[in-house]
Amino acid sequence: MAPRNAQILFPVNLSTPFDYAVPSGMKLSVGDYVFAPIGQQMKLGVVWSLNPPATDKELREIAQVKATRPLSANMIKFISWVARYNCAPLGMVLRMVVRSYKALDPSAVVTQYRPTSEIPSKLTPSRQKIIEHGGPFPARAADIAKRAGVSPGVVKGMADVGGLIAEQLPVDPPFDQADPDLDGLELSEDQRLAGQALSEQVEQRAFNVTLLDGVTGSGKTEVYFEAVAQALRQGQQVLVLVPEIALTQAGLARFKARFGAEPAPWHSGLGEAAKRRTWREVTQGRAQLVVGARSALFLPFSKLGLIVVDEEHDTSYKQDEGVIYSARDMSVVRAMIEQCSVVLASATPSLESLTNARSGRYLHLELPERPGAITLPEIDLVDLKENAPERGDFLSQPLIDAVEEVVSKGEQALLYLNRRGYAPLIICRNCGERLKSPDTDSWLVEHRASGRAMCHQTGFSMRMPKTCPECKAEDSLTSVGPGVERVAEEALRHFPNARIEIMSSDTSGKPEEIKARLDRMAKGEIDILVGTQMVVKGHNFPLLTFVGVVDGDLSLVGGDLRAGERTYQTLVQVAGRAGRADKPGNALIQTHQPEHEALAALAEGDRERFVSVELAMRNMLELPPYGRLAAVIFSGPNEKHTEDFATKFVTLAPRADDIEIMGPSEPPIGRLRGRFRRRILVQSGPKVDLSTYMANWRGKVRIPSKIKLQIDIDPQSFF
């Protein structure tokens, strides 16, 4: 019997599907993409269920079913799980999956041209340009003509005389097929055993999680390539998540070298056509390998066999706008639903993953050494209380001496500071005014290279003023503190003959610019690279033998509960860029707190010391992984109304054991984009279903139209 009605979920900010009538004769299945009317519009949605309870209401009819592969039952289950756990609207999670309506249709077919084996007898200069500059082939006439600097008519004329052949080909071609049996790099014995263990996990075709815990430069990528190869041999799809677009670019090249084909990419820097191509090929099961940022987790794979989360500790895996979720944690959930393998790879695993591995929930594979004779860099601390830089400078003499020695030997140095721009604060010497972003409690950052003052929270930008906006005094504004531009300026003063470049999101915004700068560094065309966190993750520079950390205390400031852990992770990662080839490396970390547990453990090369102290503290305070956290963020245009609603919300908290509520309080950035903000932190024991508790709490309150309320399960940021 044909279904009488159906529930359709739309990719909009709603938590429930809508009931619709199924027209007579329409064949419908759960997961089908359909068009149905909402108000005066026709919208794309997904069939969430069939034959829901009968209703007396007259239902509007579904208009059209898309002739494409439906959303799988596993994907529907995953969407529901993500929405429930993260207290997010169901429709907004679906929106992360349904990225491109055009991708639901087959690729358009157009006429494309490629050279034949015959060279025309009448080879004019214009036609010669097509042979020399018109590729890559096959391509459309307009694209060939543009690259060759000729008219499209010349292209078609060359086809008429047999120099090109015309074919009807899809606009979005399939990705090249990977070969899992190509030879990779020769593995050490430790790497071979770890790769074999990962392959055996994939062979099970069942849910399992492995923590691949290897020091920097230990070859973790080559090891998990063995698991990738096994999944490909089994005809399964593989997703590799990386925390940065720059790593996506590097990952594509490494995959091509190992498997003979570039993976399908997925990240925010792709154009709509490229995203459409990847989405379509993934859902049809033709894209075997995908390398992408966190949102790639929501691609509708049809036969997923392996998920790799590279640099699993990285905070970039946490999305803090829209649907708030952790891609690392949701990767484990998706693997559980798909019954496939997950590899979490890191040189500095998160304490949550490390605890799961040590308790036996995850398989724990360790790579404690770099292969061959390559050794880990020596790390030393520079106590800035004893080695203060010259007045107005930020590089101490020990750091300057180390850079000079390295550059004189034809090797490379990296100066690390996770601050973009020239200076993080602009202050008036006359009245003390600190320049802030309009409608935001965030200081403006001077970007001297562009002559602008910018807000890194909102993107606001203006030309650097000549006078103080408050007291109107001329030439009174001064820069306080260093950013990477200022460090590069100082480095140029100390090393005027060195080739110095900056790498940050301001100087290397586009993927091709990032790749070009990384290539120059890898080829030895840069002597000193001054960089932010972009340079920390996964890069391999053979001539880089020294790393200088300008401010080792930077991530220790503020109220971040994970400050020690993040500081340790970041500094291990950045120091680990040194000495990754046949030359030994070393690192110097400038600090005012050499006695801090994270820094002291780092200098001694004793990770276990730091881990044991940090876990003991977490256990005593019942913080993750020994407890649960959730945050509630309120924002509104009126400060008093926002404060009052946050206070009222706390009074309506359901009674429950093992729950502690802190706040409301004003966060470090109390106003953002004209909206006043308040936060509540909720702490519970490890066995409390905190997601259900938070959902029930929110359900008791009617939220005023001008107030925005967000729930963040397992918060990573506290600003």
The pLDDT of 490-509, averaged and rounded, is 89
Check residue 121 and give its pLDDT: 73
Alpha helices in 555-651 (DSSP H): 563-575, 597-604, 607-621, 639-651
Q: Which range has the top average pLDDT, 266-275, 378-387, 531-540? A: 378-387
Check residue 595 and give its pLDDT: 93
Q: Measured between alpha carbons, how far is 587 from 240 in angstroms, rounded to an integer?
A: 30
φ and ψ of 310, to 5 deg = -80, 145
On the question of pLDDT at 717 being above 90, the answer is no
On the question of pLDDT at 621 being above 70, the answer is yes
Task: State the DSSP code for 429.
Answer: T
Q: Measured between alpha carbons, how far is 645 from 456 in angstroms, rounded to an integer?
A: 28
Cα angle 380-382-386, degrees, rounded to a multiple of 5 = 145
User: Quick one: which of 499, 496, 576, 566 has its CA closest to 530?
Assistant: 499
Cα angle 11-16-19, degrees, rounded to a multiple of 5 = 95
Check residue 375 and give its pLDDT: 75
The pLDDT of 80-92, averaged and rounded, is 98
For residue 554, name the pLDDT band (cuts at 50, 70, 90).
confident
**Which CA distances in Å does 420 have to 48, 119, 314, 452, 454?**
45, 54, 19, 13, 10
Check residue 246 and give its pLDDT: 64
On the question of pLDDT at 677 being above 80, the answer is yes
Q: Residues 35, 8: contact at Cβ < 8 Å? A: no
Choose the weakest-confidence range: 6-20, 513-527, 679-693, 701-715: 513-527
Q: Residues 179, 170: contact at Cβ < 8 Å? A: no
**Which CA distances in Å does 266 have to 127, 318, 332?**
37, 17, 19
The pLDDT of 57-69, averaged and rounded, is 92
For residue 99, name the pLDDT band (cuts at 50, 70, 90).
confident
Half-sphere exposure of 225 (CA within 13 A, CB side): 27
Q: Which range has the top average pLDDT, 331-335, 391-395, 417-421, 573-577? A: 331-335
On the question of pLDDT at 122 being above 60, the answer is yes
Q: What confidence tens digit (pLDDT) does each residue in 438-459 have?
A: 889 989 999 998 999 999 988 8
User: Quick one: which of 587, 582, 223 has its CA closest to 375?
Assistant: 582
User: Quick one: which of 606, 622, 570, 575 has its CA closest to 313?
Assistant: 570
Q: What confidence tens digit (pLDDT) does each residue in 233-267 have?
A: 999 999 999 987 765 666 677 899 999 999 999 98
Q: Residues 212, 343: contact at Cβ < 8 Å? A: yes
Q: With pLDDT > 70 as the criterion, what percentage of the chain qualifies?
A: 97
Check residue 244 and give its pLDDT: 78
On the question of pLDDT at 352 being above 80, the answer is yes
Task: State the DSSP code for 715.
Answer: -
On the question of pLDDT at 540 being above 90, the answer is no
DSSP helix/strand/coil, 304: strand
> Cα 705 vs. chain centroid, distance in angstroms?
32
Check residue 397 and give its pLDDT: 97
Q: Residues 703, 642: contact at Cβ < 8 Å? A: no
Check residue 230 and give its pLDDT: 98
Q: What confidence tens digit (pLDDT) does each residue in 392-414 have?
A: 999 999 999 999 999 999 999 99
On the question of pLDDT at 102 being above 90, the answer is no
Task: State the chain's mean pLDDT as an integer.
Answer: 92
Check residue 39 and give its pLDDT: 87
Check residue 248 and give its pLDDT: 61
Pseudo-torsion of CA 311, 313, 317, 321, nearest 10°?
A: -150
Choose the weakest-confidence range: 55-59, 265-269, 284-288: 55-59
Check residue 3 and give its pLDDT: 64
